[in-house]
Amino acid sequence: MTYCIGIRLNAGLVFLSDSRTNAGMDQISTFRKMMIYEKPGDRFMVLLSAGNLSISQSVRELLQVERIDGGPDQPPLTIWSAQSMFDAARVLGATVRRVYEQDGPSLKATGVDFNASMILGGQINGEAMRMFLVYSAGNFIEATRETCFFQVGESKYGKPILDRVLTPQTPLDEAAKCALVSMDSTLKSNLSVGLPLDLLVYREGAMRSDEHVCIDESNPYFRMIRETWGQRLREVFEGIDDPRWDGGDAEHPLITAGGRYEPMRKVTHAGEHIV
């Protein structure tokens, strides 16, 4: 399994992915899940993938040559000629469906699900930044101001911090820190997600990015994140009052007047036997 995060903000985009792939407890491998498609000055796109590794690798390679109908009297569209990120997402969806047509029946015959989900984000010159979540059927949805991030893979452990912190106005470096905390929470709770990580920050209008780093266990900043986040969580937890069952003069009583509730209870007396 894996865990990938894509964040779309007013100031730019943040992408983070792990690199663990496992087919059992004794078959753990490292494969990078982030792919960059770049034409300097014209377009910059990042693809994150989760699910069946053979499917996602096929999609990543075919995406560079896949063509879709560009419309009446228009040449076919590829990710290199698309005039919008929406059309680039259409090309990606078509690529996923092409891989399904090629490999889906064989996978089904061996009892393997066609499982792949991807995040595609970036910017094409003349258009605003956009980000899409593409499903295994090739259909997709777009990030909005209300939903400014996408996750694929083992998303549940790292989602709470993203929900609480991220807004479209969040600064890029703060969002990168939030993504790393989200990843650390996932690493802590799920063995199917592992280092090294790929982190990339794209600044609006740049059409390129030099802020890309591979993070392993020796990275000093990520080590600080892991140690500090765990310590601060314990400090905050210990600073919250324990529940007061008797209410009394507690500032935040657990039980208030008229607020008592009891589940159904069966009481036995000495010598009785309930079947």
**What are the pLDDT tens digits along the chain (275 aa)?**
799 999 999 999 999 999 988 645 666 788 999 999 999 999 999 999 999 999 999 999 999 999 999 888 889 999 999 999 999 999 999 999 999 999 999 999 999 999 999 999 999 999 999 999 999 999 999 999 999 999 999 999 999 999 999 999 999 999 999 999 999 999 999 988 999 999 999 999 999 999 999 999 999 999 999 999 999 999 999 999 998 888 778 888 888 877 767 788 888 876 665 55
CATH number of 162's domain:
3.60.20.10
In a domain, 229, yes or no: yes
In a domain, 267, yes or no: no
CB neighbour class for 204 (10 Å; exposed up to 12, middle 13-18, buried from 19): middle
Domain that residue 43 falls in: 3-234
CB neighbour class for 275 (10 Å; exposed up to 12, middle 13-18, buried from 19): exposed
CB neighbour class for 97 (10 Å; exposed up to 12, middle 13-18, buried from 19): middle
| pTM greater than 0.85 | yes
In a domain, 245, yes or no: no
Neighbours of 37 (CB within 10 A): 17
In a domain, 260, yes or no: no
Return the DSSP state at 180. Answer: H
In a domain, 105, yes or no: yes
Positive or negative, the CA dihedral 165, 166, 171, 177 is: positive
How many domains is the chain partitioned into structurally? 1
In a domain, 40, yes or no: yes
